[in-house]
Amino acid sequence: MYDLKPIPEPHVMSTYGRVPVMLTHGRGCRVWDDQGREYLDALAGIAVNTLGHAHPRLVRALQDQVGQLIHTSNYHHHPYTEPLAAALCERSGLDKVFFCSSGLEANEAALKLARKFGHDKGIARPEIVVYERAFHGRSLATLSATGNPKVQAGFEPLVEGFIRVPANDLDALHRATNGNPNVVAVFFEAIQGEGGVHPLQPDYIAGVRALCDQRDWLLMIDEVQCGMGRTGRWFAHQWANIRPDVMPLAKGLGSGVPVGAVVAGPRAAQIFQPGNHGTTFGGNPLAMRAGLETIRIMEDEGLLDNAARQGQHLLTQLWAELHAVPGVREVRGKGLMIGIELDRPCGDLVLRCARAGLLISVTADRVVRLVPPLILTRAEADEIIAKLVPQVRTFLDETSA
Ligand SMILES: *Cc1c(COP(=O)(O)O)cnc(C)c1O
């Protein structure tokens, strides 16, 4: 076990409870700290490093791009914007893309799209359906859409115009919206990530799609965390065989370079006109090159299939090893997005695992979350299990009354 000591950062705002590890470099699914200690990375920068660390092809493409242009304004064209937009449209079956730099920014754009969709129809006070346990970001609008009181506390007044419903309950959605002429959109994550890795059922997603068609609402699916191949399809909603009208992306899209996108289908692709929306960094040459090269490498290396295969292996093996352990409630997820729910708060496992050379996170207080790079090998998947299971067992033993 590594002996980890606190690292002071007196000039950095304390918005995070950081693990006392100073990471300096990485390769594949491994990272190292300034003491030379090695960690297996089952967190991937929170579902960001699709290709792991220092992927040679991505490094070459980014080095080349840094030597040409890092940033230009959106007042001009450059060579990778349209190809990346086309690549996302082709893989989603949607029509047009707006580029930005983060998840909340993509969601903020989606919320603005929904409101303008309403205003264009003559609805002066549009309302958007959102979900319990949802997470959509930390801006005022996206934290208002988020279904976690802890994210909202201290930042009231919240942005208005949201109706909240529970997931996977079509009747509840009907009840919450019946007779309300101001509803313009339904907005959810295909798999709720920060909320504890709760998948929405494909039947439910298809049911909401049908309702949106019937009522002329936009179906907006936040794929910021579960998209970009993580579940074994390009986008997690594709398991329900439907298309959304609006799909925010970010996290895994640039494999570590900040890039976000809102992909829109025919009903939403024409809503924004020049002057309606914008962002300085969005769609810059470095970000576009990162996104495009990430997609190419994912296809050349068969990473969607790999995510599905290794994910299934992890799910099966973790369940086999943990289902009989008192305190373990459930192992769930899809592809390389896996949650292990315990019966008690388990934030302490993050530090315990780091001491054992494994990077993970805990979300929604009680859920161990695994979102490793999509290049994970079978041997690395087995290593995650071998490192994690004893920590979970010991933790449960030591915290049992
Ligand atoms: C992480 C996340 C966001 C916010 O993304 P940021 O880049 O941190 O702003 C939004 N939605 C979902 C589903 C996320 O997982």
φ/ψ region of 256 (left if φ > 0, alpha if ψ in -120 to 50, else beta) reads left
CATH number at residue 208: 3.40.640.10
> Based on the domain organization, do 280 and 327 belong to the same domain?
no
Q: What is the DSSP letter of 94?
A: -
> Based on the domain organization, do 87 and 186 belong to the same domain?
yes
Backbone φ and ψ for 342, nearest 5 degrees, come out as -105, 170
Backbone φ and ψ for 65, nearest 5 degrees, come out as -70, -40
> Based on the domain organization, do 134 and 49 belong to the same domain?
no
Q: Is 135 an annotated catalytic residue? A: yes
Query: How many angstroms does the Cα of residue 82 sit away from the middle of ligand 1?
Result: 24
Please check the confidence at residue 55 and state whether its pLDDT lies above 90.
yes
> Based on the domain organization, do 219 and 106 belong to the same domain?
yes
Q: Which residue range is the domain that position 378 belongs to?
A: 23-54+302-399
> Based on the domain organization, do 177 and 293 belong to the same domain?
yes
Q: What is the pLDDT of residue 24?
A: 98
Work out the average pLDDT over 45-50.
98
> Based on the domain organization, do 77 and 32 belong to the same domain?
no
Task: Give the rounded percent of residues in the chain with a pLDDT score beyond 70.
Answer: 100
End-to-end CA distance of the chain: 25
Asked if the structure places residue 15 within a domain, the reply is no
Q: What is the pLDDT of residue 149?
A: 96
What are the tens digits of pLDDT across the range 364-378?
999 999 999 999 999
Query: How many angstroms does the Cα of residue 266 sit away from the middle of ligand 1?
Result: 25
> Based on the domain organization, do 393 and 244 belong to the same domain?
no
Q: What is the pLDDT of residue 13?
A: 96
What are the tens digits of pLDDT across the range 34-47?
999 999 999 999 99
Out of 41, 98, 117, 222, pick the active-site residue.
222
Q: Which of 246, 195, 203, 201 is nearest to 225 (CA)?
A: 195
Q: What is the pLDDT of residue 87?
A: 98
The domain boundary residue, chosen from 300, 317, 335: 300
> Based on the domain organization, do 238 and 385 belong to the same domain?
no
Run of H or E including 361: strand 361-363
Which residue among 16, 48, 107 has the greatest number of ligand 1 atoms within 8 angstroms of its CB, and so is best to mutate? 107
Please check the confidence at residue 401 and state whether its pLDDT lies above 90.
no
Q: What is the pLDDT of residue 179?
A: 96
Please check the confidence at residue 254 and state whether its pLDDT lies above 90.
yes
What are the tens digits of pLDDT across the range 91-126?
999 999 999 999 999 999 999 999 999 999 999 999
CATH number at residue 386: 3.90.1150.10
Q: What is the pLDDT of residue 350?
A: 98
Q: Are strands 328-334 and 337-342 parallel, antiparallel or unpaired?
A: antiparallel
Out of 99, 135, 162, 235, pick the active-site residue.
135
Please check the confidence at residue 337 and state whether its pLDDT lies above 90.
yes
